[in-house]
Structure 1
Amino acid sequence: MNAPVSPSVRLHLQSQGQGRPLLSLHSSSGSHAQWRALAELLTRRGGHQLLMPDLHGHGRSPAWPAQAADSLRIDALAALACLDGVEEPVDLVGHSYGGAVALQLALLQPQRVRSLLLYEPVAFGLLRRYEPQGEAWQQIRRIAAMVADKPREEAARLFTDYWSGGSGWLQLNTAQQATIAERIATVSRHFNALFAADWGRPELQRLRMPVLLVGGVLTREPARRVSELLAAWLPDARQHWLTRAGHLGPLTHASQVAELIADFVQREPAAA
């Protein structure tokens, strides 16, 4: 197991609102901007301070630290550093890679987390450890290998089309395509980190806080299967599936997902 690495450079952090802290972690190739609908909704409702970092190699944050391992701890520890000065437990939200980072953060310091809302947290190491012969694991291994091996723009297109469930690449403008291509090397590091996230059931059962696992019915099988395993193993977890959404639900159904998050964090009591 890799030893914790203290972040030497701060992540770029956007903060909005006042009240109980909510830390939101974006998906691979994205940035804090994906939480715009959530920020607007919580601003209208009040009661929360939304903390939105850009993870390493994304948005306005520094690149992945030189010589650092491909580990979820890199972004989890940097996200924890965003909570310096925050004394009360936070509501923690994450999408895809950001959801897996949120789980890693909670495992490192469970006392800092009041609740977890995770949209398809892709901790693929669970598939590698527990279902190595399953089609879900074999599928995501192939996708990760192709993303790592292909030229940058081709890899960015493959990655985008896979998670969008079709031709998502063609729906992006030139600037958006260039941004994803620029971040694709970090995305490959994300895959490595996710494959190493092979927590055991005893570790996950230490997370006693309320957890809502949200997903899209139209998602890819590897993401669905990880969510199912987590729902079975986390002590206080329940699932919610959006019937017309896929893996990119926080982007394609931003208002609906924002409502789910706001309702959950405003109604859910803290863990005992």
Structure 2
Amino acid sequence: MRQAPLAADGFLPNGPLPPPWPGRTVPLDGTSLHVRDTPATCPGAEPALYVHGLGGSAQNFTDLAGLLADRLDGQAIDLPGFGHSEPGPRYTLPYFTGRVIRWIEHSGRGPVHLVGNSLGGAVSVRVAVLRPDLVRTLTLISPAMPFLDVRRSLQARALPLLVLPRAERLAARHLTRIPPEAMAAQVLASCIADASRISAQRRQETIEEFRIRCTAEHYAAAYVRSFRGLVASFLRAYLPGTGSLWQMARRVPVPTLVISGRQDRLVDVRVSPQVARLIPDSRLLMLDGVGHVAQMEVPRLVARAIAALVDECASPGTTKPPGQRSGPH
């Protein structure tokens, strides 16, 4: 593990906030997956895939993907049951992993620079281990890797819900009773350390997303079952066997960047340093005053770290922009 370098800020684009990148629904193995494209702005850009966290969507990467468009030809997917993707038959880490692998295969763009946040980070670790031929580099932003101290996560309050026989109905009823504006505010407060960093435009987009979720019959089930599947993976991680996420972290074969906010209220802040220590070729960036979704809260800092990783691992013959330095952690 070593300190993550940062590419120079001056090589990132400046300008107004981009709108959500265009989305499309793609048939895949009898179901459909929603994908947002961030086309590259420079020739020679390499393919990237962004994978969101529990309860999130491809829209969580709008700013980051835009900042990296000179280096990366980006796609962000909605996992089954989230965003605009159809619900899936299962909501386990192995199932999500299989969907991400199938998308990379289907798109014909691999190997990709794979970026995962939270649940998407845990999924991305599995993808990198099971199919390293599909991954150029791996970036994990507050990855939801296992920890057992429930006091270190706001989501611990929802754990009793997982054992109730009608948990999904209760969650659906809860969603319909809370206005989208209030729900969006609650989610942002739990994920963001400094709410002033989120623009009015992004707040409004988050509200619109929750408006859609309140009308989607499958969303509550997708959330509860995904949460249950994630918790199950945490428990299995401390048992013997190659399926443990911690054992998998030791076998990640690609260059990896781990990013975490020190004010993360959803994933134990001790997790990311542990992940970085286990992954053989890793770089760690800890951000003061930042919460669970650093790519939304401080997208320029995250983009600079990813740009430095991409430049370091650039394919032979690829022109790398100059200007790289180590940044404060």
Query: TM-score normalised by the shorter chain: which range applies?
Result: 0.7 to 0.9
- The TM-score, its normalising length taken from structure 1, stands at 0.77
Distance 1:247 1:180, change over 3 A: farther
Equivalent residue of 1:38, what SS? helix
Percent same amino acid at aligned positions?
Answer: 25
Query: Which aligned runs of 4 or more in structure 1 are off by greater than 6 angstroms?
Result: none
Cα distance in 2 for partners of 1:153, 1:259 equals 40
> What is the rounded CA distance, in whole Å, between the counterparts of 2:48 and 2:295 in structure 1?
16
Letter in 1 for 2:85: S
Higher helix share: 1
Kindly indicate whether the alpha-carbon contact (under 8 Å) linking 1:7 and 1:74 is maintained by their aligned counterparts in 2.
no
Going from structure 1 to structure 2, the CA distance change for 1:192 and 1:154 (only over 3 Å counts) comes to farther
Residue 36 in 1 paired to residue 62 in 2? yes
The whole-number CA distance in structure 2 between the counterparts of 1:8 and 1:230 is 35
Does the CA-based 8 Å contact 1:119-1:214 persist in structure 2?
yes
Asked which structure has the greater RCO (Cα within 8 Å, sep 6+), the reply is 2
CA-atom RMSD in angstroms: 3.2
List alignment gaps of at least 5 residues for structure 1: 1-5
Given the superposition, is the C-alpha separation of residues 196 and 135 from structure 1 closer, same or farther in structure 2, using an over 3 Å criterion? closer
TM-aligned CA deviation for residue 13 of structure 1: 1.9
TM-score after normalising by structure 2: 0.65
- The farther-off stretch of 71-80 and 11-20 is 11-20
* Distance in 1 separating the partners of 2:221 and 2:102: 24
Q: CA deviation at 1:28?
A: 2.5
* In 2: Cα distance, 1:256 partner to 1:80 partner: 28
163, 175, 178: which one aligns with 1:152: 175
Deviations 1:223-242 (A, max 9, x none): 42332331222112221012
Whole-angstrom distance in 1 between the partners of 2:314 and 2:64: 20
Aligned residue for 1:248? 293
Q: 2:33 aligns with which of 6, 11, 25?
A: 11
Q: 1:200 to 1:97 in 2, by over 3 A?
A: closer
Answer whether contact 1:26 1:94 (CA < 8 A) is retained: yes
Taking a change above 3 Å as real, the CA distance of residues 252 and 14 of structure 1, as seen in their structure-2 partners, is same
What residue ranges of structure 2 are gaps of 5+ in the alignment? 1-27, 238-243, 316-329
- Between structure 1 and structure 2, the one with the greater Rg is 2
Go from structure 1 to structure 2 and tell me whether the alpha carbon gap of 1:57 and 1:253 turns closer, same or farther (over 3 Å shift). same
Residue 261 (structure 2) pairs with residue 238 (structure 1): no
Superimposed CA distance per residue, residues 95-139 of structure 1 (whole angstroms, 9 cap, x where no aligned partner): 11111121122232122212111100113xx22xxxx4x355786
